[in-house]
């Protein structure tokens, strides 16, 4: 007999854990699978404090938010399987998972895909040279394993990830030679950029990396200035000696499992890639199949948690059919929180994307 | 820019020069076509790294809107599974 669950959640990051938190208030037999050793997703390496209001864990460090969520989960109701990958979803009720023992079939009533996002790659000369790292890998090495990952780093990308990881690298004793950003504007929050600038790190907008060079490993990068149409401007090349180029050039939602299963996939620029169409309670066009977090459009962990809450609430309600006013009340609270979170100027993009995603399709 | 020194598909060792050649000489016009002919996106990562880059190159080279492009087909398994794991799988496992 294959194992059977009420709700199967793929991904134990902020969205997955939040989904389990809400769902377990109303139902049981919840399974979370995650390919990593520890739960928490990106939260487990976020040593910085969050912004926003108190309801969104403002001024709590990401890693502590992760622990708060984990501590709140009932072991009787929620089963967590680490080092377990979801490799195929066959609608309506079958998930194939892979762990050390091999492949297993899992049956579920509702499925929540909180599969997160994958880092973008960039094309420049010798982009396969050892010493080219994703910002996520750098953060994992530093903050999870306590390894100093480099000595002299050039950061590509001045969004929040690029800025925050640069600062964390400096905290770990790494020299940041500069932050390079192709767009004419710094994408991340001003406070993060200001913090770096106060410490003497140059942030070069309208610049990008032409290539990295060295004998078997990165020894230097050549950057150049970009014109208004993002074309490289001749004669603006500058050489910077580094041992590592760190890439923080955005994320792409991970939707493979949903796509395979036949979910309606749509390219939404504002949400950073192909995303699965969903309704206001995160249910996709396949009934009983939900999406939450970065997999439904790249935003921040705070939004991911709220989307997880929403998906968990609806999934549990559809199973248990509990008191409707309790359901509507909780839905309203999450909706309000999401709305207030997305009102900031930095969230206009995400909000526009979400609107397009929901309005155009349903 | 030296196109043959820019890796687009890490798993299958495909460069920017290879992708441009596929578009202009072979006349391929989508991520799916390039995948089937050149195998880019069929390696270990299953196009998670190169898929977006290849769409961007097609968009740029052929002046096609990014949003009008269909995503390449994705199939199970979503992650690498050894033949041994498939072979030893038993119903009810």
- Residue range A215-229, pLDDT digits in tens: 999 999 999 999 999
What residues in B contact A232, CB-CB < 8 Å? Answer: 1
What residues in A contact B40, CB-CB < 8 Å? Answer: none
pLDDT band with cut points at 50, 70 and 90 for residue A32: very high
| Mean pLDDT, rounded, of chain A | 93
Tell me what the mean pLDDT of segment A278-304 comes to: 94
> Of the candidates A248, A249, A246, A247, which has an alpha carbon nearest to the alpha carbon of residue A150?
A246
Distance CA A357, CA A96 (A): 28
**CB neighbour class for B90 (10 Å; exposed up to 12, middle 13-18, buried from 19):** exposed
- Residue range A76-97, pLDDT digits in tens: 999 999 999 999 999 899 999 9
Q: Does position A362 have pLDDT exceeding 50, yes or no?
A: no
Q: Give every CB contact of residue A247 below 8 A, 6+ residues apart in sequence.
A: A119, A120, A121, A122, A132, A133, A134, A135, A156, A157
The two structure tokens encoding residue A177 = 């030679």
Q: What is the CATH number of the domain that holds B26?
A: 1.10.10
Angle at A319 between CA A318 and CA A324, to 5 degrees: 50
The two structure tokens encoding residue B4 = 């043959």
Tell me what the mean pLDDT of segment A260-278 comes to: 91
Give the pLDDT score at A1.
52
- Domain, as residue range, for B25: 3-87
Q: Which residues in B have their CB inside 8 Å of a CB on A?
A: 1-2, 5-8, 10, 16, 46, 48-50, 52-53, 66-67, 69, 71, 74-79, 81, 85-86, 88-89, 91-93
Q: Could you tell me the sign of the dihedral formed by the alpha carbons of A105, A110, A111, A114, in that order? A: negative
Comparing CB atoms, the residue among B53, B78, B89 nearest residue A102 is: B89
Q: Does position A110 have pLDDT exceeding 50, yes or no?
A: yes
Q: Give every CB contact of residue B61 below 8 A, 6+ residues apart in sequence.
A: B20, B23, B24
pLDDT band with cut points at 50, 70 and 90 for residue A35: very high
Flag the least confident range among A133-137, A158-162, A355-359.
A355-359
Tell me what the mean pLDDT of segment A305-316 comes to: 97
A to B CB pairs, distance under 8 Å:
88
Query: Could you say which residues of chain B have pLDDT below 70?
Result: 92-93
Comparing CB atoms, the residue among B5, B71, B85 nearest residue A259 is: B71
Tell me what the mean pLDDT of segment A340-349 comes to: 75
**pTM across the whole model:** 0.94
Residue B92 maps to a domain: no
Give kind and range of the element (H or E) at residue A179.
Answer: strand A175-181
Residue of chain B whose Cα is closest to the Cα of A231: B1
Give the pLDDT score at A241.
98
pLDDT band with cut points at 50, 70 and 90 for residue A345: low
Q: Which CATH number fits domain A3-118+251-361: 1.20.1560.10, 3.40.50.1950, 2.40.170.20, 3.50.50.60?
A: 3.50.50.60
Tell me what the mean pLDDT of segment A150-159 comes to: 97
Tell me what the mean pLDDT of segment A14-28 comes to: 97
* Residue A326 or A1, more confident: A326
Total domains, chain B: 1
CB contact under 8 A, A104 and B93: yes
Q: Could you tell me the sign of the dihedral formed by the alpha carbons of A119, A123, A124, A129, in that order? A: positive
Give the pLDDT score at A360.
52
Q: Give every CB contact of residue A116 below 8 A, 6+ residues apart in sequence.
A: A11, A13, A15, A41, A42, A253, A254, A293, A294, A295
Distance CA A116, CA A253 (A): 6
Q: Does position A51 have pLDDT exceeding 80, yes or no?
A: no
Q: Does position A161 have pLDDT exceeding 70, yes or no?
A: yes
CB A22 within 8 A of CB A312: yes
Domain locations along chain A: 3-118+251-361, 121-247
Residue B64 maps to a domain: yes
Tell me what the mean pLDDT of segment A7-35 comes to: 97
ipTM of the assembly? Answer: 0.92
CATH 3.50.50.60 given to domain A121-247 = yes
Give the pLDDT score at A89.
96
Side-by-side strand order, sheet with A132-134: A132-134, A244-247, A152-156, A175-181, A203-205
Tell me what the mean pLDDT of segment A267-286 comes to: 92
Tell me what the mean pLDDT of segment A41-68 comes to: 85
What residues in B contact A250, CB-CB < 8 Å? Answer: none
Q: Which residues in A have their CB inside 8 Å of a CB on B?
A: 1-2, 35, 85-90, 96, 98, 102-105, 118, 120-121, 123-128, 210-211, 232, 252, 254, 256-257, 259-260, 265, 267, 269, 273-274
Residue B22 maps to a domain: yes
Q: How far is CA A142 from CA A45, A170, B86, in A?
A: 8, 11, 36
Residue of chain B whose Cα is closest to the Cα of A270: B67
Residue B93 maps to a domain: no
Q: Do domains A3-118+251-361 and A121-247 have the same CATH topology?
A: yes
DSSP assignment of B31-73 equals HHHHHHHH-TT-STTTTTTHHHHHHHHHHHHHT--GGGSPPPP
CB contact under 8 A, A128 and B66: no
What residues in B contact A274, CB-CB < 8 Å? Answer: 71
What does the buried/exposed string (b/e) look like for A89-108 if buried means 16 or more CB atoms within 10 Å of the residue's CB?
Answer: bebebbbbbbeeebbbbbeb
> Which of B1, B7, B88 to substitute to test the interface with A, most A CBs within 10 Å?
B7
């Amino acid at each position: 007999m294959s194992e059977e669950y009420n709700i199967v959640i793929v991904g134990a990051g902020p969205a997955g854990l939040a989904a389990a938190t809400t769902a377990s208030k109303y139902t049981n037999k919840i399974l979370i699978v995650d390919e990593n050793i520890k739960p928490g997703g990106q939260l487990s390496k976020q040593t910085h404090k969050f912004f926003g209001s108190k309801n969104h864990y403002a001024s709590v460090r990401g890693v502590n938010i992760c622990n708060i969520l984990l501590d709140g989960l009932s072991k009787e109701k929620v089963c967590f399987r680490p080092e377990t990958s979801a490799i195929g979803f066959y609608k309506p009720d079958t998930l194939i998972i892979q762990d050390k023992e091999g492949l297993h079939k899992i049956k579920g009533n509702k499925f929540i895909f909180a599969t997160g996002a994958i880092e973008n790659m960039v094309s420049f000369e010798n982009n396969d040279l050892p010493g080219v790292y994703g910002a996520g890998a750098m953060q994992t090495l530093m903050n999870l394993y306590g390894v100093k990952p480099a000595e002299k780093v050039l950061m590509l990308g001045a969004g929040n990830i690029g800025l925050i990881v640069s600062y964390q690298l400096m905290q770990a004793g790494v020299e940041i030679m500069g932050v390079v950003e192709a767009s004419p504007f710094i994408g991340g929050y001003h406070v993060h950029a200001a913090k770096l600038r106060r410490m003497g790190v140059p942030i070069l907008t309208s610049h990008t990396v032409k290539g990295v060079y060295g004998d078997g490993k990165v020894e230097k990068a050549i950057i150049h200035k970009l014109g208004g149409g993002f074309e490289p401007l001749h004669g603006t090349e500058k050489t910077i000696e580094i041992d590592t180029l760190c890439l923080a050039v955005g994320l792409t939602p991970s939707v493979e499992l949903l796509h395979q299963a036949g979910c309606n996939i749509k390219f939404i620029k504002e949400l950073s890639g192909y995303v699965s169409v969903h309704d206001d309670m995160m249910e996709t066009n396949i009934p009983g199949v939900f999406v939450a977090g970065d997999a439904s459009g790249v935003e921040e962990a705070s939004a991911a948690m709220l989307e997880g809450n929403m998906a968990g609430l609806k999934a549990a309600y559809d199973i248990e059919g509990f008191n409707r006013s309790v359901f509507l009340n909780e839905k309203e609270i999450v909706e309000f929180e999401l709305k207030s979170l997305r009102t900031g100027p930095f969230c206009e993009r995400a909000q526009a994307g979400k609107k397009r995603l929901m309005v155009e399709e349903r | 820019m030296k196109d043959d020194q820019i890796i687009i598909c890490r798993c299958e060792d495909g460069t920017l020069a290879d992708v441009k050649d596929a578009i202009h000489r072979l006349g391929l016009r989508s991520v799916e076509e390039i995948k089937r002919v050149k195998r880019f996106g069929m390696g270990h990562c299953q196009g998670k790294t190169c898929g977006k880059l290849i769409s961007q190159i097609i968009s740029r080279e052929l002046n096609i809107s990014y949003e009008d492009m269909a995503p390449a087909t994705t199939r199970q398994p979503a992650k690498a599974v050894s033949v041994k794991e498939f072979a030893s799988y038993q119903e009810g496992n």
